[in-house]
Structures are given as structure tokens and as C-alpha cells.
Chain A
Amino acid sequence: MRGARSAKWVTCAIVVALAATACGGDKSDSGGGLTDGKVDPNGTITVQTNEPQNPLQPANAKESQGHRVLNTLFSTLVTYESGTAKIVNVNAESVTSTDAQHWTVKLKPGWKFHNGETVTAQSYVDSWNWSANTKNNQINSNWFSDIEGFDDVHPAEKGAEPKSDTMSGLKVVNDNEFTISLKTKVPYFNYKLGYIVWAPLPKAFFKDPKGFGEKPVGNGPYQFDSWAHNDKIVVKKWDGYTGPNKAKNGGITFKNYTTADAAYNDLRSDNLDWVEQIPDTSLTSYKQDLGDRAATVEYSAIQDVAVAYYSDQWKSIDNKVVQGLSMAVDRETITKNTLHGTRIPANSFVAKGVLGYQANSCGEACTFNPEKAKQLIKEGGGVPGNKIFIQYNADLNHKPWVDAVCNSIRTNTGVDCVGDSKPNFKADLDTREKKQVKSLYRSGWNLDYPVNANFLRDLYGSKADGNQGGYENKEFDELAAKADNVNSLDESVKLYQEAEKALTKKLPVIPLWYYAVNSGQSTKVYDKIKYGQDGEPLFWAIQVKQK
């Protein structure tokens, strides 16, 4: 009886399957020591990514997936050391300025693109002019807005055509030197140059930008090999690279995964060498599963709950109330229990590892103290309606912590608090843009460059684009303006530290916690994977064990 046998077989398989998962998880896969054996300099790795949204053009990646690939293919002028935020020259010999407005860039001579073309000052200037131009539809085009003449290639008026193809602020001196004139002083401009949008482009790019985006030619430690759409992108070590971040492995395959669970299962069976993020379902068990191959690395990003100061409820709120609500949030417990230790309680507006970070700048307002919280809210006249909403997008896993924060506020202050979920990020953003947020909303910031100005000026200046809550603080604005108008980075950082202190007098946000990468590596990787300031691994530095 064929039927009977197959029926039994399938039934048995399911029983086995159910039983095995019920008692599963006891098999710990220990892959030997991290530094056992020798390193194979030509060994290749496979890492998790998603299909980049756009063609691989340096200024056309807003999402980290596109960046991940571009950062291996292109090198910029400078980069910064993880942890210390010190500037390190990559393609630049030097980037200098005496007045913070006129900058001179000298290149290391003899650098080549992967196709043999020499990297010159012109390669940079052409690249920036092209990327800044509205016509070319680069998503990061306004990164060049500090440069003089930017408005000619990127007019702000609706429907206006660019007046020019070049920015007047960029001048080539010779093959290895060019100058940049900015509209105003930007003391930390050289830090911005570490971002991938500032990469140079070879002449071949401008003939067919779209085709180039499918087969990019860069000046970075890896050269492009192939791109099977929605499946994988392969890059291989480029032997002609002379920069400080020369590849220590033979190449990288960026494999597309749609879910974190799928990627994690491949990691555990050694089919994948690095995952972006441990899936939420495994956060409690991954340290046992992976042993010393698990990694928790802090990086410079912060999550907070921002106040919609334009809303009726908050228009004339007393700062004491906001302070009280902030003090009612038990950050320690929530990060430990609800978030399984994947976040670190924040006590400042600037993330750690950023130049000018000062511990505890938020002070008492970010310390859990239920009695004082209640008292402050009472003194400040309470929340109108005694009910607050925290808006978030439900397409990412924000609900657990929003509920936990609300719970904390409700039990500790008696102010009713509920999560206000929007179906997806787009809808969330839409409400924020139209200024329809009821009271508070989830907000977050991942560093663009490791200087405190990035976490302050770009978010809390009353005219800053990142200020979506209608926050206004005159003292902060004045100090920020002063900090932008100095000649040296150190001075600017110091003044911004003062500006940060002014924020406590009127809290723009309730800082919650800093982010950490929760990841893991396969048994094939030699030593622990090192991470950059942005929470991305330094792919070039990954070493592979010899088989």
C-alpha cells in the first residue's frame, strides 16, 4: 500500500519535526576558537544585504544596503577612526582650511580607478557637479549644499531648471589639487567628506551614468564583479589599491535576504558569514547559539520621542511637564527586558563616539525618578487632557518599546499614554510633514558625520530641515550660529556643547537610548569582525580562516 506508507511517513515526519523543535536548541554549534588556524588572504566572504534601491552611483544611496556595496567599491578623500572620531586621510594627502570657508584638497598622487584611469582633482570636481545637479536625480544631491554655486545646479524654486552644470565654488588647481569655497563657514566640513557621496567618478561614468550604475568602476579596495538582481552582488579584491584600507580578504558576496530569520538560519548553518541584525525572535538565544561569535557593538545612533510643539496640546506646555515625562521612563529596565539589551540608555542628546559627546548632558531629565516626575508634571500644570500619544510606524518592530515607554509613564505619573500606530513608515512621515502629530512621535537619528553639530544643528535649529516638531529655542539658535561661525573645529565643537546644554531648558525630545548592532559571524571568519562608527562592519578588514 503505497498510500498508507506515504501517509505514515509524512505523519511521522511532522511528529518528529514538532518534537525536535520543542526540545531543540540544545545543539550548540561551537566552531572552535575564533583565532584557530591560519588566515587565507584570498578567502572570500558572503554577507547579508538587500537589493540596493538605486543603481550603484555614489550619491544615489540613502539606504544602508546601497552604501554597504558602494563603500567597498569607492574610497573617499578622508574617513574617521572608529571610537576616537579622528580624521584619517584616504585618497587625500591633506584637506586644510584656515578660515573654515575656503578649503584646499591635495590628493595622494598615483591613485587609479579600477579601469586604469588616474584619479585626479577633476575626477572629484566632475563627480560632485554631476551629483549635485537636480536633473540627475541623485537622492543625496543636497549633500553638496554648503558649496558656493550649489543653487545654480540645484535651484530651490519649484520647477526651475538648473542654471549651470558646475558649482562656482569648485576650482581645479592641478591634477592633484583643488579648492572648495563654501557659502559660509563650516568648521567641520572635512568630516562630511568621509561620506560616500563625495567619491570621485571616472570619465566613463558620464557617458552612461545608468549603465555605469549597473557595473560601477570605482577607486576603492574592491572592484565590481557581477550583480544578479535581487540575488547577489559580487565584488573582488583589487590588487592595485594603495590606500590604508586594503582588502584583507579575496572578495565579498552581498547576498540578498528578505527576512532576518532566513539570514540567521543561513548564518547558523555556515552558509552566510555575517548578518545585519539578529531576528527579534532569536534575541534571547543568539548568545548561546553563537557563543563568542555573537557580537553586540554600540554605534552612533540615538532613538528618542520627539515633541510636536505645534500641536494644540503642547503649544504652551511648561518644560517641567516634558521633563517629568522623561523622568518617568525607566530606560534601564526597558532596554534590559523589553529590548533584550540591544540598546543602551541615553543620557545625552548626542550619541557616543561622536566628537563633542558629553556624558549626561541631559542630566536629571534623563534619570529615572518617579516621585520627582510626578511632582514636576504637577508643578508644570499637567498635560492638557491628561492623555498623550506616541506615534510610530508599525511596519518595524517599534510597538514593544512604545508600549513599554507608555506603560512606564502611565504607572509612574498617572498620565494616560497610548501608542498611535501608523501602518507604515510612509504614513508616519506623512503625518509628521503635515504637522498632524497629536502629541509625541518616535524619532531617531543615525550619524552622517561624527561631530556633535550633526546631532544638534541639523535636528534642533528652529529652521533646520530635521526639526519636524516645530521646536524653537532662541538660546540654542544663537549658540549654534556662533558655533558655525568660527575658524576651528575645536572651538565649534565646544560651542555646540554649550548649545547642547541649552536644550535642557526646553526639551526638544525625550532621549531614550543609543543603538547597538546585534549580529554574529560564521565559523569561517578569523577573529572578531570590527565595526565602524555607523554600525557597519569594516568589510575590508575581515579575515577568513584557511580551510
Chain B
Amino acid sequence: MGRYVARRLLQMIPVFIGTTLLIFLMVHWLPGDPIKALWGDKVPDPAQVEALRHKYGFDLPLWHQYWNYMTDLFQGNFGETFGGRQVSDVMGEAFPVTIRLAVVAFVIEVVLGITLGVFAGLKAGKALDTAVLVFTLLVISVPVFVLGYIFQTVFGVQLGWVTPNVRNSEDITELILPGAVLGSLSLAYVARLTRTTISENLRSDYMRTALAKGLPRRRIVGVHLLRNSLIPVVTFLGTDIGALMGGAIVTEGIFNVQGVGQQLYRAVNQGEGTTTVGIVTVLVLVFLFTSLIVDLLYAVLDPRIRYA
């Protein structure tokens, strides 16, 4: 177990360097000059452009820029934005917001998704199963932004139950609406996934044994069935944490949540390499760690799986 974890952690180093390099290069290859674009429709002043270029190190060869970036990074310095702020400060403001939103979405998707899936799976083929099928298909087929705008217009503007936008991201109740929108797609997947494995495992031998032993139904479903059926769901949920955080751009835009997605969008648009690479790097780390945790969870759910 310990050796397995250590090996996985070591594997992260090349992945980490590879992704930072790739993102760094991609930002560099974006068309246009980010410094000149700071002047907008007005004409850039060559002397000042030169001075700013020098300030951000854009006058150095690319490998040198990357070297500088990486050496700074290993000293815990993520660099500066064009506005002169520390990227670490920007991320420090944005990540908590997105994490809160992702957690709300995650809770909604886990609780609702698994519940719907379990009941649909137990009643496979019945009316309830069909209802869940229709609902999940509907959610999967409606694009997130359509759902977002509908929810915002109906619950925010027309009914006035909530403020249309998130005004204070520390107030969890304000995050429920965007969280539901953000988690809706995964919710449907979780429900479908749970439903399939549950209805499959219902027919398995150990279920019959448990039933024959005369165990109470609650225990059969809650322990024997659920535990065995959750392995694929957990895999999905694990990778979904990263997706929820990185993929919140659309939802964040609709509900004016000032999280990671918005910062990333702005940074990519402006060609601000430091912020882009910084945020993506952290997101990559989130993906790597959640997949590690998921792999370790397998062992907990299924004792037959062992890591050496």
C-alpha cells in the first residue's frame, strides 16, 4: 500500500512538468501580442510596450521564460498578473469560491443521483424506472447553459425566490441554484450508472445467498448490494470532482460567480500566461490526487482488491 502510493506520487512529477510545459507553450502560441492588446482600440506606445515586455520577461527566449517560470514556481512563486497582482493571491480568492460551488454541486449529485439510481434499479422496468429514465435523458440532452438561464430567469427574475446571481459566495444557500445546474449533468450520469449496476447485481449469487440467509431487506440493499454496486460510481465521481472545478466556466458566467473558471477565461483571453499556467497546474494536481484517492477507495469497497 505505502509503496503503491509512493509510486503514484512519483509518477505525478513528470505529468506535472509535462502539463505545465504544454500549457505554457500553448499560451505562447495563442495568436496576437498580449501586451499590445492592453491598449485596446487605441494605438500602443512602442517605448512602453518595450518596457512592459521587459518587465514580464517576454523579451527572453522561450526556454528561458519557461525556466524562469519553473524556478519561481518551485520557490512557491506563481508570478504576477498583468495588473501586477500575485497569481497566488488571485488563486487564493478564486479557488475557495469554486471549491464551495463544486462541493454543493457534488453533494447534490451524489445524494440525488445515487438515491434516484437505487430506486430505479430496484424497480427496474416499472413506472418509476421509466420516469427516472425520462428525467435523466432530459437533463443530459439540455445543455448546461440553457438550464442555467432557465433556472435564473424563472427562480431569480420571475418568481424572485432567490437573487438571480450569487452576491455572496460564502452564503451556501445562494450557491444551491448554480450548484444544481453545475451538478445536473453528472447527476443524471450517476443515476444511470447506479441504476444499471444495482439492477445487474440484484441477480447475482451473493444476493440470493443473502436473501436465503433471511437477512433483513434493508441490510441486503444497504450493505451487500450498494457496496458492490458503487465501485464504477465512485470512479466516475472521483474524476468528476476535477471536472466540476475546471468545467464551471459556463455556470460561473451565468450566475456571476467569481471563481476559477472566470479567472481562467479572462487569463486565456488576455494571453496572461502566468495565471493560466498557475490555475491549470493546480487543476491538474486536483485531478491527479482525486484519481489516486479513487484508486485507494476501491480497496475499501472491495476487499479483494489489494495494492502492493
When distances are taken between beta carbons in the complex, the residues of chain B under 8 Å from A62 are: 38-40, 42
Interface residues on B, range: 35 or more
Cβ B83 vs Cβ A265 within 8 A:
no
Cβ A17 vs Cβ B150 within 8 A:
yes
Query: Does any Cβ of A come within 8 Å of B65's Cβ?
Result: no
Query: Does any Cβ of A come within 8 Å of B247's Cβ?
Result: no
Query: Does any Cβ of B come within 8 Å of A266's Cβ?
Result: yes
Cβ B156 vs Cβ A265 within 8 A:
yes
Give Cα distance in the complex from A54 to B35, angstroms.
Answer: 13
Secondary structure class of chain B's binding surface, majority of residues = helix
Interface residues on A, range: 35 or more
From known contacts A3-B118, A426-B271, infer whether A258 and B157 are also in contact, taking CB-CB under 8 Å: no
When distances are taken between beta carbons in the complex, the residues of chain B under 8 Å from A223 are: none
When distances are taken between beta carbons in the complex, the residues of chain B under 8 Å from A3 are: 115-116, 118-120, 128, 132
Quote the shortest CB–CB distance from B78 to chain A (angstroms): 15
Cβ B154 vs Cβ A24 within 8 A:
yes
Residue from B36, B51, B82, B163 having most chain A Cβ neighbours under 10 A: B51
Quote the shortest CB–CB distance from B122 to chain A (angstroms): 9
Q: Which of A258, A423, A444 contacts B253 (CB 8 A)?
A: A258
Query: Does any Cβ of B come within 8 Å of A226's Cβ?
Result: no
Query: Does any Cβ of A come within 8 Å of B303's Cβ?
Result: no
Quote the shortest CB–CB distance from B91 to chain A (angstroms): 11
Give Cα distance in the complex from A263 to B166, angstroms.
Answer: 11
Cβ A159 vs Cβ B154 within 8 A:
no
When distances are taken between beta carbons in the complex, the residues of chain A under 8 Å from B93 are: 229-230
Query: Does any Cβ of B come within 8 Å of A204's Cβ?
Result: no
When distances are taken between beta carbons in the complex, the residues of chain B under 8 Å from A466 are: 42-43
Give Cα distance in the complex from A54 to B149, angstroms.
Answer: 32
Residue of A nearest to B131 (CB): A7
When distances are taken between beta carbons in the complex, the residues of chain A under 8 Å from B253 are: 258-259, 262
Residue of A nearest to B153 (CB): A21
When distances are taken between beta carbons in the complex, the residues of chain A under 8 Å from B116 are: 3, 6-7
Quote the shortest CB–CB distance from B160 to chain A (angstroms): 6
Cβ A21 vs Cβ B51 within 8 A:
no
Residues from 111 to 170 in B contacting A, C-beta threshold 8 Å: 112, 115-116, 118-120, 128, 131-132, 134-135, 138, 149-160, 163-165, 167
When distances are taken between beta carbons in the complex, the residues of chain B under 8 Å from A262 are: 164-165, 253-256
Q: Which of A142, A229, A268, A269 contacts B45 (CB 8 A)?
A: A142
Query: Does any Cβ of B come within 8 Å of A286's Cβ?
Result: no
When distances are taken between beta carbons in the complex, the residues of chain A under 8 Å from B153 are: 20-21, 24, 265
Residue of A nearest to B139 (CB): A14
Quote the shortest CB–CB distance from A436 to chain B (angstroms): 12
Interface string of A263-275 (1 = CB under 8 A from B): 1011011010000
Cβ A20 vs Cβ B154 within 8 A:
yes
Cβ B83 vs Cβ A427 within 8 A:
no
Cβ A269 vs Cβ B41 within 8 A:
no
Residue of A nearest to B37 (CB): A426
Interface string of B229-270 (1 = CB under 8 A from A): 000000000000000000000001111101000110100010
When distances are taken between beta carbons in the complex, the residues of chain B under 8 Å from A7 are: 116, 119, 128, 131-132, 135
Give Cα distance in the complex from A141 to B155, angstroms.
Answer: 48
Cβ A265 vs Cβ B94 within 8 A:
no
Query: Does any Cβ of B come within 8 Å of A155's Cβ?
Result: yes
Known contacts A4-B131, A14-B135; 11 additional CB pairs below 8 A are: A3-B120, A3-B132, A11-B138, A20-B153, A21-B150, A52-B83, A62-B38, A230-B90, A258-B256, A430-B31, A430-B36
Q: List 7 A-B contacts (CB under 8 A).
A: A7-B128, A8-B131, A20-B154, A24-B158, A142-B48, A256-B258, A257-B256
Chain A residues with a Cβ under 8 A of chain B: 1-4, 6-8, 10-11, 14, 16-18, 20-21, 24, 27, 52-55, 62-63, 134-135, 137-139, 141-142, 154-156, 158-159, 210, 213, 229-231, 256-259, 261-263, 265-266, 268-269, 271, 395, 422-430, 433, 443-446, 448, 465-466, 468
Chain B residues with a Cβ under 8 A of chain A: 30-34, 36-43, 45-48, 50-52, 54-55, 82-85, 89-90, 93-94, 112, 115-116, 118-120, 128, 131-132, 134-135, 138, 149-160, 163-165, 167, 252-256, 258, 262-263, 265, 269, 271
